[in-house]
Structure 1
Amino acid sequence: MTSTSRHGFHPAGVSDVGSPRARLAAFVTRWSLRPFTNVLPTTRRGIRFSRRIVATSMNLLGPVPKGTSIDLVVDGPVRGEWVRAAGVTSGPRVLLYIHGSAYVICSARTHRGLTARLSSSTGLPVFTVDYRLAPEHPFPAAADDIESAYRLLLEQGYSARNIVIAGDSAGGHLAADLIIENDRTGTPQPGALVLFSPLIDLDFELSAQTERTRKDPMISAASARALVALYTDGNASDLPRLRLDLALVRDLPPTLIQVGGAEMLRGDARHLHSMIEKAGGSCELEIWPDQMHVFQALPRLVPEAAHALERASKFVENSLDTADVQHDSKEQVS
């Protein structure tokens, strides 16, 4: 549950301010990383350099726990990997993870630490989609790859109600796009959505507004927009699969959104939360005070990372259990 405070949707049981380590991390990042990310060119050489830097940082600050098993998958258009924490075995439930970083920088490999900890906390195997990246593969390559991965899980026998879609940053946009496409094509929706710092507004107008009150420690809205533009590739910003609208989507899955109070995408998180509720869906929004973008991936840097994943895991368990009860009730009636 969340409560309303001066921070907005504040997670119950969480301090009104971030831990000293979290606040120090945001301060140091703002004066070290942000100036660098704001001048790094979006040339192919600049992108390659960014990919190396991010991969190294993710491994240092959120390493893969010992005992994690990784199985690479190439099945037609679907590329990715199964991530299972120590002791986790296959079962009827699964988590499909969509990584972020502006459609340009990260991969299934960079997110192994985060997906392994999600596997450990939920007890579920995680399939991370290694979707095609821009600028090599612009829109709609990434969105098409996510749709193919979801359908592959359905073809492999997983019931939609037992699939959880999770993702961060640009992965949030891709997850929302999948929900809209499922509705359009009559494909059953997943049992739940869990989104960390979701990007929704690809024009970054919401981010620019948020920046006026507090600058993001990692990057400016203008610089982030330049990266995403490598994916949108000159397409009109009001294209339906770029400017997403959930208003007419039926059967929206229950959704949890976690976002950092220090990041510019908290405006996107509020916007997505509002869209889902106006469409009649159920959505919990947690704004974690003083946290940076996708802080859940940085357990060595901020102690709140583990707490946030615990809350996400409880949400997943409750949502899937509820879906099972509702399914059983419908079968008894029929």
Structure 2
Amino acid sequence: MSEEQRAAIHQLLRDAPFDLGGAVAIQRPRLEEMLTAHPLPDDVRTSTGELGGVPVVFVDLAGVDAAGVLFHLHGGGFALGSAMGSVELASGLARRTGLSVVTVDYRLAPEHPYPAAVDDVVNAYRALLAREGGSTNVVVSGESAGGNLALELLLALRAEGLAQPAAAVLLSPMTDLTVSGESYRTKAAADPNITATAIRTRVGDYLGGTGVDPADPRVSPIFADLTGLPPLLVQAGSNEVLLDDATRLAVRAAADNVAVILDVVPGVPHVFQAFAATLDEGAAALDRAGRFIGSHLASATS
């Protein structure tokens, strides 16, 4: 069944009206519709609020006494996506770890270019630390551009001397805003819906008018010194143009003495974990992420 599932997901993405590089006024509601098309499981409870002045969605599972908090950052190329749109994916991770979730509605480009999103993420995390009384029961996660922001959060925490989370989970992270990975060429035909052109468009929105070079480590963590970051799990699919953003990050982290696991799944697309309900590889990847999180929460609290 898995081969059929993969083929169905690829066809769904090819046929979808969503275009990552399209006009934000059109693509924002299209992406939101895709991400919220199916009702959440009955035991998923959501409420809106704020942390550090930043809008967030709080997610809890009915009947679960949460052992910690997953601080989640949604994808969408810095210009699309929402906290509510990421609830299904984030709650899938929470279900496997016994955590509650905070997913962050950081400000989007082009209306709010860099560093607005990073500032929002740091401010929300700082407020979460104050609420939780520390970071030992906190795990950071993010998909695509949210993976970029998760890494930039960790680097900002290191610079400010703030407590790092117990671990971080990065799903198909966008780590190189110069769009220079070889996989943009070698995986162009395999990737069903992401292109180098689309990524460059969103990078232009994010950095436009700021004067920040796309190779600056403040926006492209692939070029940063990663020393001192917490354990990382990096997951990606072999059928995505962003594959090199994941693999090169893992190599860089290892060279900087960061404990890192690179988990590449054959034949699946960008953020394939979002299809866990209908894709065996997605569910299995979330299972592995859950075990990774559990092991590091246990070690952080022991």
Task: Give the TM-score of the pair, scaled to structure 2.
Answer: 0.92
Q: C-alpha displacement at 1:98, in angstroms?
A: 0.6
Matched, 1:236 2:188: no
Matched, 1:99 2:83: no
Matched with 2:13 is 29
Which residue of the other structure, out of 249, 266, 279, is the alignment partner of 1:272? Answer: 249
Matched, 1:214 2:187: yes
Q: C-alpha displacement at 1:248, in angstroms?
A: 3.9
Residue by residue over 1:212-265, the C-alpha shift from the partner in whole angstroms, topping out at 9 and shown as x without a partner, is: 222221121112210221111243223331132576444321111110111111
| Larger Rg over CA atoms | 1
Q: How does 1:76-115 map to 2 (within 5 A)?
A: 76-91=52-67, 93-115=68-90
Matched with 1:141 is 116
Cα distance in 1 for partners of 2:35, 2:109 equals 20
Cα distance in 1 for partners of 2:116, 2:180 equals 24
Does structure 1 conserve the Cα–Cα contact (< 8 Å) formed by 2:176 and 2:222? Answer: no
Q: How does 1:108-187 map to 2 (within 5 A)?
A: 108-187=83-162
Give ranges in structure 1 of 5+ residues lacking alignment.
1-16, 326-334
Matched with 2:264 is 287
- Return structure 1 stretches of 4+ with deviation > 6 angstroms: none
Does structure 1 conserve the Cα–Cα contact (< 8 Å) formed by 2:140 and 2:167? Answer: yes
Q: C-alpha displacement at 1:188, in angstroms?
A: 1.4
> CA separation of 1:249/1:307 partners in 2, compared to 1, >3 Å: closer, same or farther?
closer
SS at match of 1:285: strand
> CA separation of 1:288/1:59 partners in 2, compared to 1, >3 Å: closer, same or farther?
same
Matched with 1:332 is none
Task: Give the TM-score of the pair, scaled to structure 1.
Answer: 0.83
Cα distance in 1 for partners of 2:121, 2:218 equals 13
Percentage of pairs with the same residue: 35
Does structure 1 conserve the Cα–Cα contact (< 8 Å) formed by 2:231 and 2:259? Answer: yes
Does structure 1 conserve the Cα–Cα contact (< 8 Å) formed by 2:148 and 2:220? Answer: no
How many residues get paired? 298
Cα distance in 2 for partners of 1:260, 1:274 equals 17
SS at match of 1:127: strand
Cα distance in 1 for partners of 2:276, 2:71 equals 21
Give ranges in structure 2 of 5+ residues lacking alignment.
none
Q: C-alpha displacement at 1:319, in angstroms?
A: 1.0
Matched, 1:225 2:207: no
